[in-house]
Amino acid sequence: MITQLQDAKTNHNLLVSSNERLRIAEIFGSVQGEGIWVGVPSVFVRVSGCNLRCAWCDTPYASWNPEGPTLTVTEVLRRVEEYRINHVVLTGGEPMLFDPIEDLARKLKDRNHTITIETAGTIVRDLPCDLMSISPKLANSTPNAESGWRERHDATRLNLPALQELIDKYPYQLKFVVNPETGDDVSEIESLLGNLMDVEGSRVLLMPEGVDSETLHRRSRMLVPTIMAHNWRLTQRLHIDLFGNTKGT
């Protein structure tokens, strides 16, 4: 079942449906760079299309300016299997927007793949998933007014019932993008967690915002006291350290 996005300010239907094909920005093999499975060899399937427009989005080619060919699930599976890697990350954009993601996930599980789904946590689906990597969007994600997306993004970036259902239903991690040099992201996280039930501290991860190693290391050091005080976890962006902010990594 899909939990419909709560948006009283717009009549747009934000759930994009397709029975056969997915628009794919890229498929590539690398190591997982973020979260509790960092360093695991993985095949990434990046679905193109998103219901949000984060100001700091580092994959605009899958959100702000979606690109890539439209492929059948069979074509995606064929390309994934070429890598001979067990762990598959379904990411975006927002992969949970699209109906065929359920068929893709089930067929991957039929082939004994371990599956991570990377999502903002605004939509719930019934599909196989070994790790639901949920990245709730904080106020720091809100784009500027000139983008034309500010009001819509703010109205839909959080869906508490969907977040709770994902936490209850799947093995999960909550990964928050934070900038300790501006704003008060930690207080916002504390408030959000206070409205959710049964969240394990070890499943709460703070990840510094940034797209270069110097910035990420500086902000990671700044986050250590917060991590220690709350018994949360710190996650780096290993792929940035290894390859820089480039596609296919």
Structural domain tally of the chain? 1
Provide the pLDDT for residue 222. 96
Q: Answer yes or no: is 11 within a domain.
A: no
Q: Answer yes or no: is 180 within a domain.
A: yes
The H or E element that residue 152 is part of is helix 150-156
CB 192 within 8 A of CB 158: yes
CATH number, domain containing residue 130: 3.20.20.70
Q: Answer yes or no: is 122 within a domain.
A: yes
| Contacts of 228 by beta carbon, 8 Å cutoff, 6+ apart | none
Domain limits at 39? 21-243
Q: Answer yes or no: is 115 within a domain.
A: yes
Distance CA 53, CA 149 (A): 7
Q: Answer yes or no: is 9 within a domain.
A: no
pLDDT, one tens digit per residue, over 198-214 is: 999 999 999 999 999 99
Q: Reading across the β-sheet that carries 204-208, which strands appear in turn?
A: 70-72, 21-31, 41-47, 87-91, 114-119, 131-134, 172-178, 204-208, 233-234
Q: Answer yes or no: is 235 within a domain.
A: yes
Above 60 in pLDDT, residue 10?
no
Q: How many CB atoms lie within 10 A of CB 130?
A: 15
pLDDT, one tens digit per residue, over 171-208 is: 999 999 999 998 789 999 999 999 999 999 999 999 99
pLDDT (mean) for 136-145:
96
Above 70 in pLDDT, residue 16?
no
Q: Answer yes or no: is 7 within a domain.
A: no
At residue 167, what are phi and psi to the nearest 5 degrees? -65, -40
Q: Answer yes or no: is 71 within a domain.
A: yes
